[in-house]
Amino acid sequence: MDWSPDDGPLDPRHIFLHASDVMHRYGWGKTKGYQNLKDRDLVPPPVMTHPDRWRLDQLLAWEERRMATAEASLQSLLDPDRRPETVTDLLPQPKRRRRSA
């Protein structure tokens, strides 16, 4: 992505990122980056192919959705109405019930 201050304010809808820019944005190396870019569950599909290009506004929206999902799952773990786990909850349950004498 080439940009100079003389170009004016940037609109994320008009910024297209190369695969190397996306990998740099998320801190991925080359091998892991190309593997991750092919995984559509992990990264949204590119808007242009041959060569692949991702729009910045779509990546930002995707990041927001991922963060909202992560925060919701964290809140479900930290829910105050949730019963705290004890050591006996972590143990396997008995296969049979004890008979009363």
b/e per residue 32-55 (b: at least 16 CB within 10 A):
ebeeebeeeeebeebeeeeebbbb
**CA-wise closest residue to 58 among 16, 2, 9, 7:** 16
Within a domain: 65: yes
Rounded to the nearest 5°, which phi and psi values hold at 34?
A: -70, -35
Joined together, the tokens standing for residue 56 give: 């910045």
| Residue 63 included in any domain | yes
Is 86 within the bounds of a domain? no
Count of domains for the chain: 1
pLDDT tens across 15-71, in order?
A: 899 999 999 999 999 999 999 999 988 888 999 888 889 999 999 999 999 899 888
Position 100 in a domain: no
Q: Is residue 39 part of a domain?
A: yes
d(CA 94, CA 63): 44
Domain with 34 in it = 11-80
Let me know if residue 98 belongs to a domain.
no
Other C-beta atoms lying within 10 Å of the C-beta of residue 79: 9
CA trace torsion 39, 54, 25, 64 (10° rounding): -80
Q: Is 43:58 a contact under the CB 8 Å cutoff?
A: no
Residue 87 pLDDT class (50, 70, 90 cuts): confident
Q: Is residue 61 part of a domain?
A: yes
pTM value > 0.85: no
Residue 99 lies in a domain: no
